[in-house]
Amino acid sequence: MEHMIEEIKWKHLYRKAQLLFFSEWKTLLISMAAIVIYAVGVVGFTIPYKFADQGVMGIAVLLKYTLGLNPAYVLLVLNIILLAWGARTLSKRFLIWTVINAFVLSAVLDILQTINFPIMDDIFLVAVAGGVIKGLGIGLLYREGISAGGLDIAISVLKKRYGMEVGRLSFYFNMVILAVSFSIIGLEKVMYGFISCYICGMTMDSVLASFDKRRLVFIVASNTDAVVEFINKRLGRGCTLLSSEGGYKRRDGFTIMCLLMPRQVVELKRFLAEHFPSSFMVVTEANEVVGKGFKRWRNI
C-alpha cells in the first residue's frame, strides 16, 4: 500500500514537472522573440535618429549620443546594479527571467548594431513604427509575467517594499529623462521620442488586452443540460450553473455562465438559434480573465 502511494506521488510530481517545463519552454521562445523585436525598435528606429527613449534604455541611448558608449554595455551594467539592489525582494521566477533576459537583450543590441538598417526620410513615420515595434516586444514580455530589466526592476522592488504608487514615479522618472534629453538632442527629437514612447505604451496595452480579452456569456435555455454539453464537448470550455428564478413565471432553473473566445461565441449562437430559438443569451466583454485555462496567476 505504501509502495502504491509513493508511486502515485512520484507520478504526480513528474506530471507537474512536465507541465512546468513546457510552460517555461513556451515562455523562453516568446521572451527571445520579444527581445529581438524590442531591440530592433531601439537599434533601427531610435538610435539612428537620435530620439529620446524612456526608462533605463533612455539613459543608455543618451550616453550613446553624448559619450559614444555602447548602449548594450551601459544597459547591462545598469541592470546588474538594479538586480543586486533588488534581488532579495523579487520573486525567484521574476529574478531568474530578468537576469536571463537582461543578458540576452544586451547581446542582441550589440549584434544588431553591426547591421545597417535603412534610413527613412519621414521622421514621424519612424517614430510611430518604432513605438509600435517596441511596444509589441515589451507587451509580449509582460504577457508572460517577465521583463528584460531596467525600470521594471525598480518598480517591482518599490511596490513590494514600500507599497509606492509606482505609476506616478515611473512617469516622473521618464519626464526627467526627456528634460535632460532636451539639452542634448533638441526639442524636435525629444518630441519625436515622446510620440514614440506614447505609441509604445498604447501598443503594449493593446497587446496585453488582445491576449486577455474574452466574452462573458450568460444563457437561459429550456434544456440546460444540452447547452452545457455543447459548451463542454464541442467548444472545449467549462461553465458554471447559477441557480435562478424567473421574475415573471417564478420558475426555478439555472443560468449558464461561461467565458469564451469570440469565435466560440459565434458557434454557440448558431447552436442556440438552431436548437433553442426561444433561449436568451447575454454577451459582454471580459477584459481580463485570470485562472486555470486563461491567464496564469504567476504572470500577475
Grid cell in block for residue 237: 470550455
**pLDDT value at 297 more than 80:** no
**For 143-167, what is the mean pLDDT?**
76
Residue 252 pLDDT = 79
pLDDT digits (tens, 9 = 90+) for 204-257: 878 877 666 678 899 988 888 899 988 988 888 888 888 887 777 777 788 899
Per DSSP, which regions of the chain are E strands? 214-220, 240-245, 252-260, 280-286
- Give me the percent of the chain exceeding a pLDDT of 70: 84
Residue 234 pLDDT: 85
Main-chain dihedrals φ then ψ at residue 11, nearest 5 degrees: -65, -40
Question: In 3-state terms, what secondary structure has residue 252?
Answer: strand
For the chain, what is the mean pLDDT?
82
Instruction: Determine the Cα–Cα distance for residues 144 and 20; give it in Å rounded to an integer.
Output: 14
Rounded CA-CA distance 45/191 in Å is 15
Residue 61 — pLDDT band, cuts 50, 70, 90?
Answer: very high
Fold of 214-286: Alpha-Beta Plaits (3.30.70)
Which pLDDT tens digit goes with each residue over 132-149? 999 999 988 888 878 888
Range(s) within the chain of domains with CATH label 3.30.70.120: 214-286
Place of cell 462573458: 216
What integer is the mean pLDDT of 100-110?
A: 93
- Rounded Cα–Cα distance for residues 258 and 187 (Å): 52
